[in-house]
Amino acid sequence: MKIHKLIFLTALAFTLACSQDYSPKPTGYNRFDMPDPAYVALPDSLPLPYSFEYSSHARVMKDTSWISDQTWIEINYPEYLANIHITYKNIPNQDSLREYLDDAYFLTAKHQIKAYAIDESIALTPEGKTVVYAELQGEVPSQFQWFTTDSSNHFLRGALYFNTQVQNDSLQPAIEFVKADIVHMMNTLQWRD
């Protein structure tokens, strides 16, 4: 009996002597395996006054919001729970253009409550179209917004949203991937008359 106690105490001593302090590991970041960029043209079957190339890893859906118009679409990335909302307006007069521009700036500015930075920039596409981009930093629902217009007939606005509770710093690889797709969309944008 004494030998069993001795073996037990020796085993217990070795077990306790070899243990390390345990500290819980922090929650890990999401892993995103980004595919190679590939693009396809918007289907001609869609009755839209614009066309562009979008990611072949996404799908085009009709916008189903209660305020949607037949020319509004969503580019959906199911793997990342992301949507690009595309809204289009015909410009009947210059007052309407001013209203659309004011709305675009207002919709971006609504994110100032949670954004710690909104960086705006203006880019020129290869076709000569001017695009105004806004990158929003912080825990905002929309991380990237933009608009473009020909100032006489067409006004197109887009906004990127992720339908997830994941923090934006964890989403950064997916945000950058979709932003590159958005830049490609704008670089291939054509107006249909």
pLDDT 10s digits, 57-71: 999 998 888 787 899
Distance CA 92, CA 96 (A): 7
- The pLDDT of 34-57, averaged and rounded, is 91
Q: From CA 115, how far away is CA 84, in angstroms rounded?
A: 19
Are 73 and 65 spatial neighbours (Cβ–Cβ below 8 Å)?
A: no
What tens digit of pLDDT does each residue of 96-129 get? 999 999 999 888 888 777 778 888 999 999 988 9
Q: Which of 10-24, 48-62, 110-124 has the lowest mean pLDDT?
A: 10-24
State whether CATH 3.40.1000 applies to domain 37-191. Answer: yes
Question: Tokens 């990335």 label which residue?
Answer: 77
Predicted TM-score (pTM) above 0.95? no
- The residue that leads in pLDDT, 26 or 188, is 188
Which residue ranges make up each domain of the chain? 37-191
With residue 115 as reference, give the H or E element that holds it. strand 115-124
For residue 145, what are its two tokens?
């917004």
Distances (CA, A) of 72 to 60, 62, 105, 138, 158: 11, 7, 19, 27, 10
Q: Considering only 115-119, 133-137, 157-161, 179-183, which range has the smallest mean pLDDT?
A: 115-119
In 19-166, which ranges are continuous DSSP H helix? 94-109
Question: Given this model, what pLDDT does residue 116 score?
Answer: 81
Task: Using DSSP, state whether 134 is helix, strand or coil.
Answer: strand
